[in-house]
């Protein structure tokens, strides 16, 4: 990643996207945020400029392919060449698959998967002439392990993971220096749980343990610096992905017993949702779970320590050796 290159963050006005936009701005990067709601765009743009960097907020739905293309052209015209593109836009609906309206299910896929595909395609177009750049997919442990009551979101994130693998291999085949990184998140305290469409009996909550959005934001900035293929944020994500590889059937049983109660909390339900239209106002970075959200992670502290940096370098060498061995076999 070039020093202080232009960064685009879709879904950059709340939650992890907002924290990510702040983190890049704090490092001196001009930042453009793409989102639907004008109130939150205006607030985010002002906040980023107060951090001392050029900023731009553009109202666009990421499902609008032409709109995303036009937004990128405006960013490059007003701020400069896009060096980093972060796909963070999301919406969701909580409820059993059989109860979710087909149009609502499709809407989640349109935003989470097709919106990511649109952003990735646009980023590749903008970066192709320079043959370099970073594309960051904000993923999830749920891209590898589906859980009950979130079939739409989980399946869309699974699709993003497959898309990223395909595009990454194509870029390598073409000798491109553009990288595609997945940053897989644990449960995060974002406003989304106050805005999602909810079919449950109680109010929704992230599956504990819950982390503050600044933790994944730091990992996203680091992925933009290194171009690392995949970053699993916190041991919760690492454990979930590994556990699903080792004993997926056991996790089925565990989630059948705990996956319902773990996603609801005893508090008033929100009457409105942002699934099809943005909600008015600025919803900020944190959700309603500041009282229990963790502000630190041992794994993430290790990632930024000299020991963690050394382990990352060894891991990269190991992957290169492994890839060469596979190529010889094939």
Do 183 and 220 meet the contact criterion of CB atoms below 8 Å apart?
yes
Which is the catalytic residue, given 144, 153, 211, 260? 153
Give the tokens for residue 296.
Answer: 């630190």
Residue 283 has φ and ψ, to the nearest 5°, of -100, -5
Q: Beta partners for 7?
A: 31, 84
Distance CA 289, CA 192 (A): 11
How many helices (H) and strands (E) the chain has is answered by 12, 13
Distance CA 189, CA 293 (A): 6
Q: Is 211 a catalytic residue?
A: no
Do 78 and 99 meet the contact criterion of CB atoms below 8 Å apart?
no
Distance CA 189, CA 19 (A): 11
Active site residues: 153
């Amino acid at each position: 990643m070039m020093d202080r290159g232009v960064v685009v963050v879709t879904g950059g006005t709340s939650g992890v996207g907002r924290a990510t936009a702040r983190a890049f701005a704090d490092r001196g990067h001009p930042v453009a945020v793409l989102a639907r709601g004008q109130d939150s765009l205006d607030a985010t743009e002002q906040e980023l400029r107060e951090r001392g960097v050029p900023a731009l907020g553009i109202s666009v739905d990421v499902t609008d392919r032409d709109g995303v293309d036009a937004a990128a052209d405006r960013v490059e015209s007003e701020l400069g060449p896009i060096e980093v593109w972060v796909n963070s836009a999301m919406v969701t609906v909580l409820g059993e698959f059989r109860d979710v309206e087909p149009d609502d299910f499709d809407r989640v896929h349109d935003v989470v998967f097709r919106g990511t595909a649109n952003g990735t395609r646009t980023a590749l177009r903008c970066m192709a002439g320079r043959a370099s750049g970073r594309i960051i997919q904000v993923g999830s442990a749920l891209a590898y392990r589906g859980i009950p009551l979130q079939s739409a979101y989980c399946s869309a994130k699974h699709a993003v993971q497959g898309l990223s693998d395909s595009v990454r291999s194509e870029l390598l085949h073409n000798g491109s220096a553009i990288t595609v990184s997945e940053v897989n998140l644990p449960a995060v305290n974002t406003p989304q749980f106050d805005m999602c469409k909810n079919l449950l009996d109680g109010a929704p909550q992230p599956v504990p343990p819950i982390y503050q959005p600044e933790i994944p934001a730091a990992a996203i900035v680091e992925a933009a610096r290194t171009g690392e293929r995949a970053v699993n944020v916190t041991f919760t994500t690492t454990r979930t992905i590994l556990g699903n590889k080792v004993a997926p059937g056991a996790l089925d049983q565990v989630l059948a017993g705990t996956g319902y109660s773990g996603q609801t909390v005893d508090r008033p339900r929100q009457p409105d949702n942002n699934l099809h239209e943005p909600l008015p106002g600025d919803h900020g970075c944190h959700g309603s779970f500041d009282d229990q959200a963790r502000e630190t992670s041992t794994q993430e502290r290790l990632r930024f320590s000299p020991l963690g940096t050394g382990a990352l370098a060894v891991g990269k060498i190991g992957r290169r050796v492994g890839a060469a061995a596979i190529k010889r076999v094939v």
